[in-house]
Structure 1
Amino acid sequence: MTLSAAPRISCEVIDTRPDVARIFNIQRYSLNDGRGIRTVVFFKGCPHTCPWCANPESMSSKIETVRRESKCLHCTPCLRDADECPSGAFERIGRDVTLNELEREVMKDDVFFRSSGGGVTLSGGEVLMQAPFATRFLQRLRRYGVHTAIETAGDAPLSRLLPLAQQCDEVLFDLKIMAPEQARAVVNMNQPRVLDNLRSLVAEGVNVIPRVPLIPGYTLHPANITRVLEFLIPSGIRQLHLLPFHQYGEPKYRLLGHPWTMSQVATPDADEIAAIRVLAERAGFQVTLGG
């Protein structure tokens, strides 16, 4: 089954101010975005159009306002002002932070990093859209000895990716649709550049951990997984994370007023996931389910 692409949403590169970034969430006590207990900073804005994206609030680089019907008092007149809303029904998604502000905020969790071997992961959206800020931010964290990671699709000029990746203890690198034409049509991705960038990171000694989202109709079939494995084997990488599709993002689409085109797509069952896992393990990979 082949499904349609998600609506294309314009996302500008917003790294013109390297001392200020636009984020939409800071998630503490995460166990799924790198080793140990982690604080994950979610950057706003993404150039890709993955129909299965679980964070639709990350797609636009603009600050957005949403209304939660369950909280709304239906004031008359309604000013749609998140700062003035008496019930909190109107909520602003996205805020701008400086390097100093973000540093202070994440370092509140330093005790958890040190006790668990965890650290800070930069996610999104796509962190490469704000690469200069992210690079400077990770440089600061590394001076404290904090373990650092990014989650990325790697689809940007190497000149943006490499300086950031070199500040990371690990790069969680998504590999999605391997066929170049389909990757361009469905997720607006330059797949040849993605693969070239992964090779370059490995050649530069960056610790790259590939991750494959298992999406029915897109990536969850043996042909695509085989192409992933055949690409990775010459690199010497032997870790692989498999990320099964889920429906957890659907309420966010409703909140934002965006269509959720994956509503009829079933989550992969245990047998489907096991078959992919066996395929990867037979190819010599250490497989982790989840991130």
Structure 2
Amino acid sequence: MTSSAAQRINYKLIQPGLPQAANAVPQGRIFNIQRYSLNDGQGIRTVVFFKGCPHTCPWCANPESMSGKIHRVRREAKCLHCQPCLNDAQECPSGAMELIGQNITLDALLQQILKDEVFYRTSGGGVTLSGGEVLMQAAFATQLAQRLQALGINTAIETAGDAPLASLMALAEHCDQVLFDLKIMDADTAKRLLNIDQPRVLVNFAALAQRGVQLIPRLPLIPGYTLSRENMEQVLAFLAPFELPEIHLLPFHQYGEAKYALLGREYALHNMAPPSEQEIAPIQAMAQQAGYRVVIGG
């Protein structure tokens, strides 16, 4: 899915979940493989986006990732209005019918990833597992990270850390880097607005830090939600004992807005402007004064 075309999409769920057969080959469910990324870790990276997320962040730039289900969509601008419509993405003559999400085996996904191996080797890059929330498919992601580690490919995950600690630690053990999003620090507000178990998030972060994992905290800067001195003070107070060298600040943007319209969903932050440099500067200064190297945009 791209956010550039103003094309209407009819949105329909078509599959309830991954196959459950006892002897089935393990599969993951992804919705995108983004190549040649210069964000989400060091060097040139391939980002694998896992489908499904338990959270309800109103600023989410990937609304197609929220549901773990595969969706069939129709792009009105491409539609030839065939009679009768086959409603089949593979058979559609114009490409108007698409599926958001696919089930993929570990070997098939590795085959796709390794097409870019030369770029990892020459740039110091690698693979980032993102989402959605990768921990919703922790077992499959852990198998993938193990295989990448065995191949000597730098592997990172992006996570909000809101999952059982055992799942997080098993996956992080095979990762070179964990990009860990801290959002609303107040537990009651985080639960009410984002459906995040903030106490569990903080316990999990501390466990990773104590294990010595290369851990980079990140804070999305969302006006009215996370972009405040009070929230930043709480972030810095929590992080202080871990003596981490770096923090990423991720300013709000509207890049995902068009996806909500395409999916027929209301976008709660439609009228919100991205924060200005003047609004970001005090938060950045707070982090720098606390001794962090600050990266804007991750």
| TM-score in same-fold range (> 0.5) | yes
CA shift for structure 1 position 81: 2.0
2:88 is matched with 81
Is residue 151 of structure 1 aligned with residue 158 of structure 2? yes
- The amino acid that maps onto 1:32 is N
Aligned to 1:265, the other structure's residue is in SS state coil
Distance in 1 (alpha carbons) for counterparts of 2:66 and 2:161: 16
Alignment check: 8 A CA contact 2:17 2:69 kept: no
Is residue 201 of structure 1 aligned with residue 175 of structure 2? no
Alignment check: 8 A CA contact 1:150 1:170 kept: yes
Give the counterpart of 1:110 among 117, 138, 146: 117
1:63 is matched with 70
Distance in 2 (alpha carbons) for counterparts of 1:42 and 1:170: 16
1:3 is matched with none
Cα-to-partner distance string for 1:133-183 (whole Å, 9 max, x where unaligned):
111111111111100000000000101100101111000000000000000
Alignment check: 8 A CA contact 1:70 1:89 kept: yes
1:215 is matched with 222
1:139 is matched with 146
Distance in 2 (alpha carbons) for counterparts of 1:149 and 1:109: 16
Count of residue pairs brought into register by the alignment: 281
- The amino acid that maps onto 1:109 is D
Aligned to 2:39, the other structure's residue is in SS state coil
Q: Kindly report which structure 2 residues correspond to 1:29-68, keeping only aligned pairs within 5 A, or say none.
A: 29-68=36-75
- Identity, % of aligned positions: 62
Gaps of 5+ in 1: 1-11
Structure 1's consecutive aligned runs of 4 or more residues displaced over 4 angstroms after TM superposition are: 12-18
Distance in 1 (alpha carbons) for counterparts of 2:147 and 2:235: 34
Distance in 2 (alpha carbons) for counterparts of 1:255 and 1:179: 33
Q: Kindly report which structure 2 residues correspond to 1:21-32, keeping only aligned pairs within 5 A, or say none.
A: 21-32=28-39
Q: Kindly report which structure 2 residues correspond to 1:1-291, keeping only aligned pairs within 5 A, or say none.
A: 19-291=26-298
Alignment check: 8 A CA contact 1:119 1:146 kept: yes
Over aligned residue pairs, what C-alpha RMSD do you find? 1.6
CA shift for structure 1 position 235: 1.1
Cα-to-partner distance string for 1:46-76 (whole Å, 9 max, x where unaligned):
0000000000010000000112122122223
Gaps of 5+ in 2: 1-15
Aligned to 1:182, the other structure's residue is in SS state helix
- The amino acid that maps onto 1:174 is D
Distance in 2 (alpha carbons) for counterparts of 1:70 and 1:272: 39
